[in-house]
Amino acid sequence: MYYYSLNNHSIKADFKQATIEGQAPDKGLYFPSDIPNWSSSFINQLKTLDKAEIGYHILAPYVGNSIPNDKLYTIIEETLSFDFPLKKIKENIYTLELFHGPTLAFKDLGARFLSRCLGYFAQSIGRKITVLVATSGDTGGAVADAFFNVEGTEVIILYPSGKVSPVQEKQLTAMGGNIHALEVKGDFDDCQRIVKAAFADQDLKDKLFLTSANSINISRWLSQQIYYAIGISQWQETMPPIVAVPSGNFGNICAGLVAQKSGLAIKHFIAACNSNDVFTQYIKTGKFVAADSVATISNAMDVGNPSNFVRILELFGNNHQELIKHVSSLSYNDELTEKAMQEVYQEHHYMLDPHAAVAYLAMEDWIKTNPSDKGFILGTAHPVKFPTVVERVIKDAVPLPDQVASIIKKEKKAIQVAPNFAIVKEIIIQLAS
């Protein structure tokens, strides 16, 4: 298997090159030349396989000869060293909890897989790899933890000042060592714009061996298929589920759609959005119009121009009518999100974070009009990552997991910068040198 640029299909790379580069030389996102068809025996055996076996079966075709089979299996075992339990909230609605990893967010899986792949590749390169990433919340902490002290790497994380939760900020700023945080005086779109400009800057590429750890990187993006399969392995209902995904940059739901195309038994996807509803509008109209992001309490979804939208289009041949057979989209404001958090806690004694609450609303509305359906939402982050909002809404304290207790006491270490690429570029060069 190879990967081609979505800007120019003649630009091709193997898994190693695509992972290291992050983006193609023409700034296009990489896309796999083939979507594997999972065998019926694999799908039928999901309930009997362990997590590493599931992960290896899914990712081996994408990795090819870039990593030896035994080493790949070890990488996947290390990546999946925590659980992904499927829990019932109420009749017809379950949640797949993806927040039991070291930074309590779904992005732990992709970040851990990527870091271990890059660590393996760095051994043969003979150069330091600089990982540059923009975060709207959880990516930064997951990347910081996954890459901390990984030999041959320097990590630079850009995050929007005042627009991530206190726990998220500590997770991405307090590691030290080879992890560097830039606090950008702007929003996530500013951070993402700067990162894209960095990868387009030839002078910067000449000076540094630059790669990305955002969901644009194929290792992070494609590895997320694993927890959809793990979720289905726990699904006990007779009919395939509806799956509602809190959606911001759309790498997560795009991975789920790839798994569905490979044969995973998911009936339909719902892209659950907050007030940043550009994808919801696209589903309705067939026209995509990027917009400035709007700040919400589900901050990791505050994206006005999602990078992975082009991958979803590619997956369905840029055919809007074909796409909407597989995915719908619903959007909710903060008032409705808070109401859902409050009602679910009071009535079902389950604590939703603001992102999962958006997905819950979408699933609830879907089932109202499709009462025979059942499904699960993705619990993408632990409520403790948003304590101010959650505790205010549910009027109760959020228990502090061990992962947070150890880092919350550490000192924040961040460089404040204006949303100016020229300024950030000089800082990147200094930090990576």
Q: Take residue 32 and report the two structure tokens written for it.
A: 């796999």
Strands 3-5 and 12-13: antiparallel
Q: Hey, what CATH class is 83-105+224-399 in? A: alpha beta
Q: Take residue 236 and report the two structure tokens written for it.
A: 């006990």
Sorted by where each begins, the domain ranges of the chain are: 83-105+224-399, 107-218+406-433
For every residue of 120-133, DSSP letters joined together read HHHHHH-SPEEEEE
Q: How far apart are CA 174 and CA 413, in angstroms?
A: 6
- The pLDDT assigned to 128 comes to 86
The amino acid occupying position 353 is: D
- Residue of 243, 42, 204, 159 whose CA lies nearest to 413: 159
Q: How far apart are CA 128 and CA 121, in angstroms?
A: 11
- Residue of 379, 336, 339, 366 whose CA lies nearest to 270: 366
Cβ(49)–Cβ(234) below 8 Å? no
Look at phi and psi of residue 395 and say left if phi exceeds 0, alpha if psi is from -120 to 50, else beta.
left
Q: How far apart are CA 4 and CA 106, in angstroms?
A: 27
CATH for the stretch 107-218+406-433? 3.40.50.1100
Alpha-carbon dihedral 105, 331, 376, 299, rounded to 10 degrees: 10
Q: How far apart are CA 80 and CA 74, in angstroms?
A: 10
SS3 of the chain: helix, strand, coil, percent, to 5: 45, 15, 35
Look up tokens 């990078």; give the residue: 307
Alpha-carbon dihedral 104, 60, 155, 194, rounded to 10 degrees: -100
Burial class of residue 335, CB neighbours in 10 A (0-12, 13-18, 19+): exposed
Q: How far apart are CA 120 and CA 114, in angstroms?
A: 10
Q: How far apart are CA 48 and CA 190, in angstroms?
A: 45
Cβ(385)–Cβ(168) below 8 Å? yes
pLDDT in tens, the chain (433 residues): 999 999 999 999 999 999 998 889 898 999 999 999 999 999 999 999 999 999 999 999 999 999 999 999 999 999 999 999 999 999 999 999 999 999 899 999 999 999 999 989 988 887 889 999 998 777 888 899 999 988 889 999 999 999 888 888 998 999 999 999 999 999 888 998 999 899 889 999 899 988 888 778 999 999 999 999 999 999 999 999 999 999 999 999 999 999 999 999 999 999 999 999 999 999 999 999 999 989 999 988 999 999 999 999 999 999 999 999 999 999 999 999 999 999 999 999 999 999 999 999 999 999 999 999 999 999 999 999 888 999 999 999 998 888 777 788 889 999 999 999 999 999 999 999 8
> Does the reported pTM lie above 0.85?
yes
- The pLDDT assigned to 323 comes to 98
- Reported as half-sphere exposure (CB side, CA atoms, 13 A), residue 153 has a value of 30
